[in-house]
Structure 1
Amino acid sequence: MTLLVGTEPAQARRVSFIRDAEIEDTIRLFGTPLFAVAGLEPSAVRVFLVKDSSLNAFVAGGQKIFINTGLLIASDDANQVIGVMAHETGHITGGHLARTQDALRDATAQSIMAFVLGAAAAVAGQGQAGSAIIAGGTHVAQRSFLKYSRVQESSADQAALSILEQTGQSARGMLAFFDK
């Protein structure tokens, strides 16, 4: 099974899934208490296994968590997978996916405005100033979006710590995995 995933059509990429009943059942057992404590209906959260060797997990399409097989393979124990799932649950409860769309739209608007102003300066005979406006405006937009992303990641980490504590699980696995 494949799916196109991304925040914008230009970022869409083909994703291949694997199906394994034993792994899916285990992941569901790990996730159910996390989702419940986070105020989510456990049966509404869908977890997909992505055939990808990179150490990654992400949220897309609302309450859908995607876990790469590379993450599962690289995990030393269940606590590391549970920690990552708690982190991704933090993204869901924080509404980060919807807010990321807004932040991306804002950064794109800033870049477009910088390009328009830079092009106007270039047309007015100020080519170097125009280039500087474009480069500077784009840089500011990128930094703004990256700052927003760091805030989201920190928020998801804090939510994960709370979720793990409320379910009586150690955060050591999450911390150890994030050091990888």
Structure 2
Amino acid sequence: MNLKIFVVFAAIGFASCRTIPCLDGCQCEQSDHDPVIRCDGLGLKKFPLPYSDPLKDYHFLALTCNDIPSIPSISLIKASFPDLQGIDVQGNPRLNCTELKYLKSEIPVLSDCDNQEEPLKCELLNENECDWKCRALQKLKDMWVKFKELISRKAKDWQAEEAYEKAKAWFTKQFNELSVAFGGN
């Protein structure tokens, strides 16, 4: 009986996330909850774009620890990845941060450009300690703290503390669910 249960769960696990090669050596992870194009640490010298048809149904593009100097316009990115919801370009030391300012108003971008601390040290990363999901989750936590501080100030300015507390509880619940999905604590 236990073997049957194991086989069922294994089949569900394999069916829920499939990885296929795509773009310039990247891996496209196809899953129901977290479709990602992973191009981490490939030594890419340019932003990867599909050669012909757009890559649909992928929400995130992970480009950490490469050597990408610039990012194309948002219109080209959206045409190439119509369902994209975020880009991670941490650990790209030659990245033009000025270009990123314009891009961030259109799509969330994780980068070292506005990082007050040291930039991501790719050579020090140990995949067993903190993979791309772990780093993304930590960055989201940091962004969440800043967002809560901003909303708290605005709620006090507008005298809307009760609405703020309800929204805070909802976002905290959503973040905790995301954290569990990413395998965080």
- Greater relative contact order (Cα 8 A, min sep 6): structure 1 or 2? 1
Larger radius of gyration: 1
Tell whether the structures are fold-level matches, with TM greater than 0.5: no
TM-score, structure 2 normalization: 0.31
TM-score by length of 1: 0.31
